Amino acid sequence: MNPNKNIAHFGENKLIDLIEEIISLKTGKNLIRDDSFFFSLDDHRKCNRLVFNSDMLVSTTDVPPQMSFFHIGRKAVIMNISDLIVKGVKPIAIIVSLGLPNNLLIEDFRQLIEGIVDASHKWNIEYLGGDINQSKEIIINPTVFGFQDQEKIIYRSGMRKGDLLVSTGKFGLTGVGFNILLKRKGNVNDYLKYNRAIKSILEPDDIGKEGYTLAENNIATAGIDSSDGLAKSLLDLIKSNPNKGFEINFNEELYVTEAKEYSAEFKTNLEELIFNGGEEFIHLFTINPNNYEIAKNLIREKGGTLIKIGRVISDENVYLLKDNKRVKLHSFGYQHFI
C-alpha cells in the first residue's frame, strides 16, 4: 500500500486486512471475521461478574495537534483499561469501532492501529474485532471487558467518614503539559525544562496496577479513575457517597514539582494545574486508616505507589488544607457540551 495515499483509495475491506496483518504480526492471532464476536469463558467461570467499559476518543476534544497517530491509538486503549483497573478488574479483551475521515493517509491509519494493538498486547488484552465507518474526524470507540467477583470489585460508593484518600501518583503534570500545548505560543522545544509534562500528554504512559492488589485483599472502600481531572473525580465520588466530602492536604505530596515551578514561572494558577489537568490516569482510593500501612506495604512489594493525600469528611464539599487554613475548592474542571 502506498503510504502517501489516503484511506479512500483502499476501501473498508483492505483496511480490515491491514488491521488483521498488524494484529497477526504483533500477537500471532487473527481477527474474528463474523457478525458478532465470541470469547471463551472457560478460564473465568470462577468470577461472577462481567465488567466492561466503553470510553470514546474524539480527535477534536481529546487529541492535541502535536500527538502522533501511534499514541492516539495507545491513548484510546489506555483511557478504557484504566477504568477497569481502578475497579480491581483485569481487562482481557477489546472490541474497537473506528470512525475515520476519507483524507486520512494510509500510513497514519497504520500507525493508529499499531498504537491500539501495541497497548492491547502490552496488557495481554485480546483484540476481538470491531467496526469501521466514515466520519468527519477520527473517532475511536473501544469496549474493554474483564471478569471479577462481585465482592472484590471496587465501586465508587462505600467510603466512610475518617477514611484516608490515597492516590497512585502525584498531580499537575498533565496540567502543565496541556497549558504548554494548548495555550503557549512557540515550539515545544522552547519548554525543554517541562519535557516530562509535555510527554505525559503526547505519549501517555501506562497505568499502575495498584487496584488489583487492593481488590484482591478487599482493602479499598471506594475508588475512581482521575482521567477527568482530580477535582471532577472528587466531585463524582461525593455524588456516589451522600453526606461525604474531602479534606485535601495541599502540599508536595499532592503535586509534582513541575507544577509549582511552572505556576511561578508563567504566573499560572497552581490549583488549576493540579485539579483540572485531567488525563493523568492516576487512581484514587479511600481506605480505612487501620489498613493504610498494610495496603502501602502490599503495593510496594509489587512495585506500585500509594500516596496519602487527604481524608473523608461528613460534609459534601472539597476543602484544601494549606498554610494552616481550610479553603473550599470551587472549580471542578472540564465537561463536554459546556
Q: How far apart are CA 27 and CA 124, in angstroms?
A: 9
pLDDT for the residue numbered 323: 86
H, E, C per residue of 114-125: HHHHHHHHHCCC
Residue 338: the pLDDT is 43
Could you give the CA distance from residue 187 to residue 175 in angstroms, rounded to a whole number?
A: 18
For 44-53, 117-126, 201-210, 233-242, which range has the lowest pLDDT when averaged over its residues?
A: 44-53
pLDDT at residue 48, rounded to an integer: 75
Task: Evaluate if residue 75 carries a pLDDT over 80.
Answer: yes
Query: pLDDT tens-digit profile of 222-267?
Result: 999 999 999 999 999 999 999 999 999 999 999 999 999 999 999 9
Q: Check the CA dihedral 121-126-128-131 and report its sign.
A: negative
Residue 316 CB-density burial (10 A; 0-12 exposed, 13-18 middle, 19+ buried): middle
For 166, half-sphere exposure in the C-beta direction (CA atoms, 13 angstrom radius) is 27
Q: Is the pLDDT of residue 33 over 80?
A: no
With contact defined as beta carbons under 8 Å apart, do 307 and 166 qualify?
A: yes
- Give the pLDDT confidence of 130-187 residue by residue, as tens digits: 899 999 999 999 999 999 988 999 999 999 999 999 999 999 999 999 999 988 877 7
Asked whether the beta carbons of 147 and 51 are under 8 A apart, the reply is yes
Domains of the chain with bracketed CATH: 7-152 (3.30.1330.10), 164-328 (3.90.650.10)
What does the pLDDT look like over 313-324, one tens digit per residue?
999 999 999 988
Pairing type for strands 245-249 and 318-322 reads parallel
Which residues, including other chains, have CB under 8 Å from residue 189's CB and lie 6 or more apart?
none
Question: In this predicted structure, what is the pLDDT of residue 38?
Answer: 62
Burial of 318 (0-12, 13-18, 19+ CB in 10 A): buried
For residue 44, pLDDT over 90 is answered with no
Q: What is the DSSP letter of 255?
A: B
β-sheet bridge partners, residue 311: 164, 247
CA 167 to chain centre: 14
93 three-class SS:
strand
Distance CA 147, CA 145 (A): 7
What mean pLDDT is reported for the chain? 91
CA–CA gap between residue 199 and residue 188 (Å, rounded) = 10
- List, in order, residues 6 or more apart from 45 with CB less than 8 Å away: none
- In the predicted structure, residue 72 carries a pLDDT above the cut 70: yes
Q: How far is CA 150 from CA 51, 89, 154, 218, in A?
A: 10, 10, 9, 11
In degrees and rounded to multiples of 5, residue 288 shows phi and psi of -55, 130
pLDDT score of 45? 60
Residue 40: the pLDDT is 65
Question: Cell numbers 496483518 label which residue?
Answer: 21
Question: Predicted confidence band at 337 (pLDDT cuts at 50, 70, 90)?
Answer: very low
